[in-house]
Amino acid sequence: MSDTRSLSFLSRCRRSRSFMVGGIMTAFLLVCAAISLFWTPGSAYDITIANRFLPPSADHWLGTDRFGRDIASMLMTGTQNSIVVAVVAVSIGLSMGVSLGLLAAARRGWTEEIIMRLSDFSFAFPAILSAIMLTAIFGPGGVNSILAIGLYNIPVFARLTRGSANAIWAREFVMAARASGKGRLRITFEHILPNILSIIIVQATILFAIAILAEAALSYLGLGTQPPEPSWGRMLNEAQTLMFLDPMQAVYPGLAIATAVFGLNLLGDGLRDILDPRLSRKR
């Protein structure tokens, strides 16, 4: 009978167009990142001034930049960087935020009040601004930009979790669990978390896209990934001064960022359709 469940899950996946398109785009990025771990068409690091501004060719698929580095290779290696930053940042936000949200919903009262007011407080600062502040204090760099983005994700998850968990706490099956003598911790893990998991997964997918965008923005400002590590954001920054000389230099990393954000957002939308219990109940 678990077969019928997973079958219907798969068929619902196939029916959702946005899930399929988003999934293919995301999978394409993941494959690029995986391949770049052990092979790239050229070198993303070697500076050969003689090769600067080469047009696309068999050797350099997307041409070279002003230092003669291979753009296609830089994009592929940059994918790794974006994915690592997004995964770690979302994991930080997910683990801390969901725990805080579950705690707030389970304890109510002062605990909830303190956690939620702290979330409001951190929401009052725009994400990029607080990231700039953090990197200004601790210095620019990949790790600090991950921390900055991750910290920003905590209240997003905390709010979402607490809101949806509160709705589940009000359901009758939770009352039935209380009447069975189950404690709040046990109810949280046996009833609350499984019922809000789909909402959290969807939110994580979308925040994943936002994290990639935020990393690119920080790198563009010179606060994120430092040279010589290739990064989409810094490629954009470097291309900016060459806008009229070689506009394609800016188009490629821009397209990469757009693909990642668009694909992940579509994936999140598709997942929402698939995992939404109201849609799955209608069978």
Partner 1 sequence: MTDESRSIPVLEVRDLVRHYRLPRESLFSEPGHVYALNGVTFEIQKGKSFGIVGESGCGKSTLARNVMALEDTDSGSVKILGKEVVGLSFDQLRPLRRHFQMVFQDPYGSLDPHHTVGRIVAEPLAAVGPISKEEKDSRVAEALKSVGLKPQDVSKYPHEFSGGQRQRIAIARALITHPELIVADEPVSALDVSVQAQVLNLLKDLQKEFGVTYMFISHDLAVVEYLCDEVAVMYLGEIVEKGRTEDMFNTPAHPYTRILLDAVPKPGSGQKRSRIKLKGNVTGQTERRTGCVFRDRCPMAQDVCREVKPPLTPVGEAHLAACHFSDEMIKKAQPHS
Tell me which residues touch partner 1 (CB under 8 A): 1, 171-173, 175-183, 186, 191, 194-195, 277, 281, 283
Instruction: Tell me how crowded residue 224 is: count the other CB atoms within 10 A of its CB.
Output: 30
Q: 55 or 183, CB closer to partner 1?
A: 183
Q: 109 or 124, CB closer to partner 1?
A: 109
As measured in angstroms, the least distance from the Cβ of 192 to partner 1 is 10
As measured in angstroms, the least distance from the Cβ of 176 to partner 1 is 5
Residue 93's contacts (CB-CB under 8 Å, 6 or more residues apart) are 150, 151, 152, 153, 154, 156, 157, 207
As measured in angstroms, the least distance from the Cβ of 224 to partner 1 is 40
Q: 125 or 189, CB closer to partner 1?
A: 189
Greatest Cα pair distance, the chain, in angstroms, is 77
Q: 74 or 202, CB closer to partner 1?
A: 202
Count of alpha carbons within 13 angstroms of residue 109, beta-carbon side: 3
3-state secondary structure at position 64: strand
As measured in angstroms, the least distance from the Cβ of 226 to partner 1 is 46
Q: 200 or 257, CB closer to partner 1?
A: 200
As measured in angstroms, the least distance from the Cβ of 168 to partner 1 is 9
Residue 108's contacts (CB-CB under 8 Å, 6 or more residues apart) are none
Return d(Cα 242, Cα 194) in angstroms, integer. Answer: 51
